[in-house]
Structure 1
Amino acid sequence: MSEKTIFHVEDMSCGHCEKTIRQALIEALPNAAVDMDLTGQTVSVAGDAAMARAAIAGAGYTPVAARH
């Protein structure tokens, strides 16, 4: 099982943002488990954290690793 990384994505503000980020993560990490909380502006990814961060940033958003 891959380690889960939680990103705070402050500029994820609507359903379109959520869909765009989810699609970017699916393309970059097809088998990764992705959970999103639009209200809390968090994205949780079980998979390669660096690739996930790059995918979110590549989609035009600003991922910041959340403290555990």
Structure 2
Amino acid sequence: MNTIFTVPDMTCGHCEKTVRGALAEALPGAAVAIDLTAKTVTVEGDAGRAEEAIREAGYSPERVVA
């Protein structure tokens, strides 16, 4: 299952790399797609772990409810 987060404080390539690394550590092998312009992160797997990983990396994810 995929979950989409908006991450309003993800503003640059360094932010993207940090978020991607945090998700890779929390959810090894999970598919991650980041759209820096839209400030969205789409991640496969455990949404709670993904949200926690993004928060621990210093960002403020908000789940997008479809």
| TM-score of the pair, normalised by structure 2 | 0.98
Q: Which runs of 5+ in 2 are unaligned?
A: none
Partner in structure 1 of residue 62 of structure 2: 64
- Aligned-residue CA RMSD (Å): 0.5
Percent identical across equivalent pairs? 59
Partner in structure 2 of residue 6 of structure 1: 4
| TM-score of the pair, normalised by structure 1 | 0.95
Q: Which runs of 5+ in 1 are unaligned?
A: none
Aligned residues: 66
